[in-house]
Structure 1
Amino acid sequence: MATSVRQRVQRRRDTLRAAGLRPVQIWIPDTRRPGFAEECRRQASVVAAADASDRDLQSFMDAAWDDLFGPDNEAR
């Protein structure tokens, strides 16, 4: 006889718990909500304005790039 979905899910959860994991519930923004895209654009504009006013940011980003990929911009 086939096991029910509930039994299979419980067995899977038990296996994961035995492996030292635990379930976590997270809440994320609803991308279907009216105004979501506009709020994304607003926040992106705020970040862009902050970046534009930070004169040291581009130097920092360039140094980070060089640190990761070398001065020739080639992946190591």
Structure 2
Amino acid sequence: MVQPVRSRVRQHRDNLRAQGMRPVQIWVPDTRAAGFRDEARRQSLAVNAADRRDGSLDFLEAIEDDLFGEDAP
């Protein structure tokens, strides 16, 4: 006999919890929302403008050091 969906989902979640996992809910921007495209464009233009003003890549080198160590190529 086939189990109802609710029972299968509960069993699957119980199995994951038994493996030490826990559920996490993540909220992300709705790309279909009105104004999303305009806001994304505004933010990308602001980042681009800041990059042109600064011109420094020190922050990228710092991230590289954090990720790969100071001996990274």
If the length of structure 2 is used for normalisation, what is the TM-score? 0.76
- Structure 2 gaps of 5+ residues are 65-70
Identity %: 54
Task: Tell me the number of residue pairs that the alignment of Structure 1 and Structure 2 aligns.
Answer: 66
Structure 1: distance between partners of 2:56 and 2:41: 24
Residue 61 of structure 1: how far off its partner (Å)? 5.1
Do structure 1's residue 12 and structure 2's residue 12 form an aligned pair? yes
Structure 2: distance between partners of 1:37 and 1:55: 26
Structure 1: distance between partners of 2:59 and 2:36: 31
Give the aligned CA root-mean-square deviation in angstroms. 2.1
* C-alpha distance after superposition, 1:37-64 (max 9, x if no partner): 010000000100111111222x7658x5
1:43 corresponds in structure 2 to: 43
- Structure 1 gaps of 5+ residues are 71-76
Q: Which runs of 4+ in 1 moved over 3 A?
A: 59-62
If the length of structure 1 is used for normalisation, what is the TM-score? 0.73
